[in-house]
Amino acid sequence: MSGADEVTENQDATASSWFGVRVHRRQFLAPDIVSLELESASGEPLPGWSAGAHVEVGFSNTISRCYSLCGDPDGGGFYRLVIHLELGGVASQLLATSMEEGTRLRIRVSKNDFVLDESAPHSLLIGGGMGVTPLIAMAYRLRRLGRSFVLHFSVRTRARAILVDEFALAFGERFELHSDDGSAGPPIDVAALVEKLPENTAVYFCGPEAFMDMVRQRATQAGVKPERLHAEAFSIRSPRP
């Protein structure tokens, strides 16, 4: 294991200062899901970040929203955000209409509240819909560290199964796709996933509220200790203007 790959304490104890970025690449993964690759506007390297972290994007002086960093934390170069454009959403509207390549934005890396335990003997990552975004960074990090993990991605239909070619290539058998309608893999059975987990497995999950309630309930029923359960909710967002 190289120095850069050593298991480290999370260093995102505080949020970074605001800095400028530019949209390097904008790609629609579905009509209402956009991927943004952001590059430094100054030419300085982008601040480092740890798996599970998110950035706050300032759309104006009064509007900001949080987005998970969705890529390889050790990959350098760009920050990737994958964003669901919500009908009637303020930031979603701006993202859909005015974030073309070259557009400048102000962002900061927030304090990471969804910290990866890099020493866990095994990690189970369960993402529902857009909630997969922070788990992707965790999977890349665990792969780099040579840790045991499985990433489960649950979607309603095949059309919502974004970036799956990338995940299959990057994580191979450690990536499993599930869909509610069976069009892209069998529906997720969380009770089966949490049954007989190796001791001290860390379980990470993120997704719609009801999905997260279900995962927490099944894991608790299976005897997973509360301190091994780690969740992030997207619905706790920056105050609306």
Work out how close the CB of 209 gets to ligand FAD at its nearest, in angstroms, rounded to a whole number: 12
Closest CB to ligand FAD among residues 71, 219 = 71
Closest CB to ligand FAD among residues 133, 179 = 133
Residue 211: how many CB atoms within 10 A of its CB? 19
Tokens of 185: 């893999």
Length of the chain: 241
Report d(CA 76, CA 46) in Å as an integer.
8
Work out how close the CB of 225 gets to ligand FAD at its nearest, in angstroms, rounded to a whole number: 24
Report d(CA 5, CA 107) in Å as an integer.
27
Closest CB to ligand FAD among residues 30, 192 = 30
Q: Which residue has the tokens 């922070």?
A: 134
Report d(CA 39, CA 155) in Å as an integer.
29
Report d(CA 100, CA 25) in Å as an integer.
8
Q: Which residues bind ligand FAD (CB under 6 A)?
A: 54, 65-68, 82-84, 86-92, 130, 133, 232, 234, 236-237, 240
Closest CB to ligand FAD among residues 54, 228 = 54
Work out how close the CB of 237 gets to ligand FAD at its nearest, in angstroms, rounded to a whole number: 4
Which residue of the chain is nearest ligand FAD when measured via CB?
A: 89
Residue 104 per-residue DSSP state: E
Work out how close the CB of 99 gets to ligand FAD at its nearest, in angstroms, rounded to a whole number: 12
